[in-house]
Amino acid sequence: MTTTDSDADTKVALLDKNIEKMEELTRRLTSAISRKGQPNTALQAPESELFARAATAYWQEAMQNPAKIIEHQMSYWSKTLTHFVAAQRTLAQGKLKAPEDPTPSDRRFSNELWESHPYFNYIKQQYFINAEAIRQAVQDIDDVDETERRRLRYFTEQIVDMMAPTNFLATNPDALQKAVETDGESLVKGMENLIADLEANDGELIVRLADEQAFKIGENIATCEGKVVYRNHMMELIQYSPTTEKVRELPIVLFPPWINKFYILDLKEKNSLIKWIVEQGYTLFVVSWINPDDSYADTGLEDYINDGYLRAIELAKEICGTKQVNAVGYCIAGTTLSMTLALLKARGDTSVKSATFFTTLTDFSDQGEFTPFLQNDFIDGIEAEIDKRGILDSYIMARTFSFLRSNDLVYMPAIRHYMMGETPPAFDLLYWNGDGANLPGKMAMQYLRGLCQRNEFSEGTFELMGEVLDLKDVTVSLCAIVAETDHIAAWKDCYRGVQKMGSRSKSFIVSESGHIAGIVNPPSKEKYGHYVNDDMSLTADEWIKGAEFNKGSWWPRWESWLKPRSGKLVAARIPGESAHKALCDAPGTYVMVKARR
């Protein structure tokens, strides 16, 4: 027997072994999937009536204007036939290469075989032709309102993204090459990864985005020094240790969103906003919210405000011996901070000197990219889920946000993890993104129905805690920071809400980048710049057109705005030295609690 024969036999044996493993894993996969309960169909897809109305409108258009439909079909057929003929002509010339490729650049198709190999290139070009035809068909539908058109566009894009040839093994050259190179081992590892993710989530497929073993909260993530100085059923209040001898008199109380954990603002030293604020000479308190289970089913926005916001503000005043604080709210916590300020206004309470809002929506008259998820069929489905479980499970929120960027947050990670057998990267931001929190049932429905659907706070009709809350009653001095490419809180929608606030002193900053990177943008990086414009009477388009662009982070500009509103310099306060003793070290215990199902 030759060496070559021996090597071949070894490869065949290894391949046979991996095939046996795949058969065993397939049985485990079936078992893992069977653990999933009956799905809530309202959360899987829109009501069938949406597609029925679209189909009816499409065929009505065909009857009334057949030339338009025929033109659309002929264009699709023509492009498909031209593409086929070009590929055939190249092969007929004896050239094993792809024809001219007019398709746009797309990082899903970065493997050079998509450009050079006639098989893969043909599939790629036809995919783009098909996608264009589907989009055009939706665009050509006239007899639907704008809300339905937005929904149709969204679900159309989901179909287009899902059917990309990169998502299937037989048409993914990266996955095929790796399977050959590893004698099928990559497919075995990918199947193991898939089963592990299913088993970890009771049969729900939640793609892991980061290596969860690479991070430990309090050790290599969320490491800024401080103490938990108070704890109740809603939150832990962390007071961070000073790094300067003197601090500004008025403390800062920062309210992070409770959809995720607060340590997005303290991932690591070099990009920690928490650390940076402390270094500028401020006493900083940060709320760490409870990760609720079904015992919190009846917890509402009033509980977050009363036992979270108001309690944290009072504690900061007591510990620091001041009559006022400066407050900061991020995302949904900024929305709730604005409601808290309207409540304080109604009560004649001036405890908040100034407010800062990070990527905060307060006017929901334009639902933007969330339109598909804020119609009654989807919200009814969420309400049914809450009635059954008492909470809105974190994975539902995570899935919703992920499918707004499905290629980046669903399909490409799934290809690497399942099809190519790779371990997810040790990326702190993605680790945080996967460390979600549940929402109490009552609070979730108050937010979705009252704010998102009915826009009651902006309209001045939101009833809570014995008051009717109105956005115009936010009258403290304020600074709003938004992100230019934010797909969760679109900056123009945030701008519209700030315009409706009653404050006489408003500062508005548009940071480059998105919902997270636009906020977590340390000066040392010199990465993203920001826009400023003092004229808040303009439309959003006019505002950005006339805005001044500044290189670098917005953090120093905000601190310059905050400093004159923060009082004189006083001796630094040490956590635990007031009447409120230290309960434990930061980052506390609540942040360690994983979402419970």
Helix (H) or strand (E) holding 5: helix 3-34
Q: Show Cβ contacts of residue 481 under 8 Å, excluding neighbours closer than 6 positions.
A: 356, 357, 358, 359, 509, 511, 518, 519, 554, 558
Type and span of the H or E element at 480: strand 477-483
Displacement of CA 486 from its chain's centroid (Å): 9
Pairing between β-strand 284-289 and β-strand 252-255 as defined by DSSP bridges: parallel
Instruction: Sort 594 into a burial class: Cβ within 10 Å, 0-12 / 13-18 / 19+.
Output: exposed
Q: At what angle do helices 185-200 and 3-34 cross, to 10 degrees?
A: 10
Q: Which residues, in sequence order, are CB contacts of 406 under 8 Å at separation 6+?
A: 157, 158, 161, 162
DSSP states of 191-258: HHHHHHHHHHTTT------S-GGG--BTTTBS---EEEEEE-SSEEEEEEPPSSSEEESS-EEEE--S
| CA–CA distance, 376 with 588 (Å, rounded to integer) | 39
Across the strands, what pairs with 330?
A: 358
With contact defined as beta carbons under 8 Å apart, do 244 and 576 qualify? Answer: no
On whether the CB atoms of residues 562 and 354 are closer than 8 A, the answer is: yes
| Cα separation, 206 vs 394, whole angstroms | 11
Distance, in Å, from the CA atom of 393 to the CA atom of 597, rounded to the nearest integer, reads 7
Q: Indicate if the alpha-carbon torsion angle 82, 84, 89, 90 is positive or negative.
A: positive
- Is residue 209 within 8 A of residue 409, CB to CB? The reply is yes
Is the CB of residue 287 less than 8 Å from the CB of residue 254? yes
Q: Give whole-number Cα distances, 182 to 18, 387, 416, 423, in Å.
A: 10, 48, 15, 15
Give catalytic status of residue 494 as yes or no.
Answer: no
Rounded distance between C-alpha atoms, residue 269 and residue 285, angstroms: 18
| Residue 53 dihedral angles phi and psi, to the nearest 5° | -65, -40
> Which DSSP letter does residue 568 get?
S
What does DSSP assign to residue 35? T
Amino acid (1-letter code) at residue 308: G
Residue 237's beta-bridge partner residues? 230, 287
| Integer-rounded Cα radius of gyration of the chain | 27
Single out the catalytic residue among 320, 331, 479, 494: 331
Residues 478, 354 contacting (CB under 8 angstroms): yes
The length of the chain is: 597
DSSP 112: T
For residues 360 and 338, is the Cβ–Cβ distance under 8 A? yes
Backbone CA torsion sign across 242, 244, 245, 249: negative
- For residues 45 and 158, the answer to whether their CB atoms sit within 8 Å is no
> 502-517 b/e with 16+ CB inside 10 Å = b?
bbeebbbbbbbbbbbb
Instruction: Identify which of 255, 359, 351, 245 has the alpha carbon closest to the alpha carbon of residue 301.
Output: 255
The residues that are catalytic are: 331
